Amino acid sequence: LLLLLLLLLLLFLLLPFSSSSFSFFSFTFSFFAMGLGGFVLPSFPTPCRRRDVLVLTPWLAPIVWEGTFSRDILDAQYLQKNLVTGVVTFAVEKYCYVQFIEGFVSSANKYFLAGHPVNFYLFTDCPEKTSHLQMAPENHLFVIPVQHDPRWQDISRSRMDILSSYIQSQFQHEVDYLYSVDINVQLLAHIGVEIIDALVATISSWQVTPQQEDKASETHPESQPALPEGQGDFHYTASFYGGSVAEVYKLSRACSAGLLQDRENGIEGPWHHESHLNRYLLQHKPTRLLSPEYYWDTELSSSSILVKRMCPVHQKRKETSEAKTRMIIKACD
C-alpha cells in the first residue's frame, strides 16, 4: 500500500500538470491516508505548484511553501478529526522576554490556526502580567509559573526538560499536536493546518540566502550533537518546531538527555538546544518541513519568500562590567 502511494506521488511530480491529474492525485492520496488510520494531510493539494523552490526532501517529506497547498481542502479534513493543537512558549523577566508576551499572544491568537481550537501554554515567572490578555472564543491561554534560571543559557537548556515533563503530566491529555514557538516573534500572516504532521521542522532562513552560515551545527567533538563534517540535511531553527504529542515527547526527551550529558561533561555549545534539535532531526527525519517563510529573519532577503508568516523581534545582548544584560529591541518589519 505504501509502495503504491509513493509511486502515485512520483507520477504526480513527473507528469505535466492538469486539473484532472491534480483531482485524481488529491483524492487518491486522501483515500490511502484515511485507510492507514491516521490524520495525514495531502502533501501538495493545490493547482498552483512552485517550480522555483525545493518542495520535496530526498526522503519524500513535503516542504511547505506559499503556493503548494490549498487551505480550504486542508481545513475540511482537519475539522473532520476534531483535533486540538497546543503551542508552548517561554517568557522570563530577567532577560526582558516578558515584554514580548502581548505582541506574541495577540498575533498568534489572530493568525495561528485561526478558527480552530488552540491551547496556548505560556511558561513565565511573571504570571500577573497576563491577566489582561484576550483570546478568541476557540482558544485558551494557560499560564504556568516557572522560576527563572540565572543565565539565559540555562533557560535554553531547561526548555526541553520542562517540555517533556509537561507533555507526560498534562499536555498529552489535552492536545493532539504540539508546537514550540519562541516568545520574541510576531505572526504576520496566517499559519494554518498545513503545518500539521507527525514531526515538523522549520528550515532556517539563513539556508536560502547567499549569507548562509552553519548556525545549527555543533563542532565540539565531545558534544552530544556534534556532527561529522559534511553530514546534515537542512539547518532547522529551534524557534518553531512540533508535531504529534508523542513525537514531540520523544524529541524533547532525547534533546534533554543530550543537554544534560553535555552539562555533566562541562560542554556548552553556542547554539544549545538548537544543536541538539538538529542532531535529533538528522537521525529522525521530519515528516513535514516548513519553508523559511514560517520563521523569516527580516534582516535577510530572498526572492523565494512570497509571504513572511512569522518573524523574530530582533534583540542584541550586551554584557556590561556588572554582567547585566541590556536589550536593544528593533520592531519586526
Per the CB < 8 A criterion, the answer to whether 89 and 182 are in contact is yes
Catalytic entry in 274, 293, 299, 322:
274
Q: What CA–CA distance (Å, rounded) separates 84 from 77?
A: 13
3-state secondary structure of 57: coil
The annotation status of 95 as a binding-site residue, yes or no, is yes
Per the CB < 8 A criterion, the answer to whether 291 and 277 are in contact is no
Residue 220 in grid coordinates? 565540539
Per the CB < 8 A criterion, the answer to whether 25 and 8 are in contact is yes
Q: What CA–CA distance (Å, rounded) separates 179 from 120?
A: 10
Query: Beta strands 118-124 and 139-145: pairing type?
Result: parallel
- Residue 30's nearest CA partner among 9, 11, 13, 10 is 9
The annotation status of 233 as a binding-site residue, yes or no, is no
Per the CB < 8 A criterion, the answer to whether 142 and 121 are in contact is yes
Whether 274 is catalytic: yes
Q: What CA–CA distance (Å, rounded) separates 249 from 166?
A: 9
Q: What CA–CA distance (Å, rounded) separates 189 from 108?
A: 10
The annotation status of 112 as a binding-site residue, yes or no, is no
The annotation status of 214 as a binding-site residue, yes or no, is no
Instruction: Kindly write down the DSSP assignment for every residue of 134-155, as one continuous string.
Output: ---TTEEEEEEE-PPPSSHHHH
Residue positions counted in the chain = 333
The annotation status of 92 as a binding-site residue, yes or no, is yes
The annotation status of 274 as a binding-site residue, yes or no, is yes
Q: Which residues are annotated as a binding site for Mn(2+)?
A: 182
Q: Which residues are annotated as a binding site for UDP-N-acetyl-alpha-D-galactosamine?
A: 90-92, 95
Q: Which residues are annotated as a binding site?
A: 90-92, 95, 182, 274, 297
Catalytic residue IDs: 274
